[in-house]
Amino acid sequence: MFDNKSNTVFEAGYLKLYRSGLLKTIADELYQSISECSICPRCCKINRFKSYSGFCHSGYKVIVSSYCLHFGEEPPLVADSGVGNIFLGNCNLRCLYCQNYQISQNYHIEKNNEVSFEKLADIMIELQEKNATSIGFVSPTHFLPHILKSLIIAIEKGLTLPLIYNSNGYDSVEILKKINGIFDIFLPDFKYGDNEIALEYSSAKNYYEIALDAITEMHNQVGSNLLYGNDGRLKRGLIIRHLVLPNNLAESFKILKGIKSSIGTNVCLSIMSQYYPAYKAHEKILISRPIRESEYNKVLNILEELGFENGWLQDYESKHIYKPDFNDRITPFKIKE
């Protein structure tokens, strides 16, 4: 596979929206809306200024569980110096096998990592000063309004890097439309082709349709081509991640067929073999083992049959390389340049 790229002079999309005043309007509107929260498709309608009782157990302050330069993302994102990843705490999914479960599923503990918008802005600036290629928000969905409020402060302190929206795909199209132009790079997961399985393993209703619609909207915003700056770093585009699960629980064929018919085969895919049983995976027999090489190869064959040509394939043996440990919040990943 190869990447579908072109070179361009780049300015992050949010800068134009900041200059026009629109970024502030969007940030304020979204932040106010958490008083009856519908930021993600769960539409809990709770008041996050007063309560943590939404599905994501997240309130009016943003939770930063960890941040670092990360070298384990796709090659054009890492480029010469790594992505400046900011790992937000909690999640709007409950994946029984979550590899980041230490920070995504421990809301009592993660509440201790609530920070101010100023602090999140300072983190973005710190990562930019460390020569990050971009700022990657990992699990941004439930904290999107907080990210935008912090972004305004970061812009005023000199932020210019592109932003990555690295989500689980369980995003609201309506909210994505509102933030059109702010994120230059979308890096969503597409986890399940079967809603019953998504409900059982991630407590997510209608995951397939919701993720397909959300990713289609991301594609509407940035297209299929990857745009590189004159510095050779990825500046704009969509990369759809798909983690192959044991026993075909992800229904990879249905996912790839859905992408083909809604988005086309030019889009960049990142096919991942790194599944290993984490968190509560040992309680469910069908996800209690890594994937087999034959299972992975079957998905690669489907890719070829459907005509996908752009993107990246993880090596089958990669599961040990990408295993995070958030007990070490400073360097949760041991991958080096």
Q: In this structure, are strands 114-115 and 62-70 parallel, antiparallel, or unpaired?
A: antiparallel
Long-range contacts made by residues 197-204, C-beta under 8 angstroms, separation at least 24?
Answer: 197/249, 197/250, 197/251, 201/95, 201/96, 201/97, 201/249, 201/284, 201/287, 202/93, 202/94, 202/95, 202/96, 203/93, 203/94, 204/93, 204/94, 204/170
Contact 174, 49 (CB under 8 A): no
Residue closer to ligand SF4, measured from CB, 51 or 160: 51
> Cα separation of 279 and 224, whole Å?
34
By the rule CB under 6 A, 146 interacts with ligand SF4: no
By the rule CB under 6 A, 47 interacts with ligand SF4: no
Q: Which of 12, 40, 175, 245 is the binder for ligand SF4 (CB under 6 A)? A: 40
**Closest CB 37 distance from ligand SF4, rounded Å:** 3
Tally of CB atoms within 10 A around 78: 21
**Closest CB 94 distance from ligand SF4, rounded Å:** 10
Q: Which of residues 178-217 bind ligand SF4 (CB under 6 A)?
A: none
By the rule CB under 6 A, 120 interacts with ligand SF4: no
Contact 306, 269 (CB under 8 A): no
What distance, in Å, lies between the first and last C-alpha atoms of the chain? Answer: 22
By the rule CB under 6 A, 44 interacts with ligand SF4: yes
By the rule CB under 6 A, 39 interacts with ligand SF4: yes
By the rule CB under 6 A, 250 interacts with ligand SF4: no
Q: Which of 26, 37, 135, 147 is the binder for ligand SF4 (CB under 6 A)? A: 37
Residue closer to ligand SF4, measured from CB, 104 or 274: 104
**Closest CB 70 distance from ligand SF4, rounded Å:** 24
Name the one range near ligand SF4 by CB under 6 A: 53-61, 191-199, 298-306, 324-332: 53-61
Q: Which of 25, 36, 43, 321 is the binder for ligand SF4 (CB under 6 A)? A: 43
Residue closer to ligand SF4, measured from CB, 206 or 230: 206
Q: Which of 17, 46, 153, 214 is the binder for ligand SF4 (CB under 6 A)? A: 46
By the rule CB under 6 A, 117 interacts with ligand SF4: no
> Cα separation of 323 and 97, whole Å?
12
By the rule CB under 6 A, 285 interacts with ligand SF4: no
Q: Which of residues 68-97 bind ligand SF4 (CB under 6 A)?
A: 92
**Closest CB 189 distance from ligand SF4, rounded Å:** 16
The pattern of x and - marking residues 223 through 242 that bind ligand SF4 according to CB under 6 A reads --------------------
One-letter identity of residue 119: K
* Chain position whose Cβ is nearest to ligand SF4: 54
Q: Which of 61, 70, 142, 236 is the binder for ligand SF4 (CB under 6 A)? A: 142
Site residues for ligand SF4 per CB under 6 A: 37-40, 42-44, 46, 54-56, 58, 92, 142
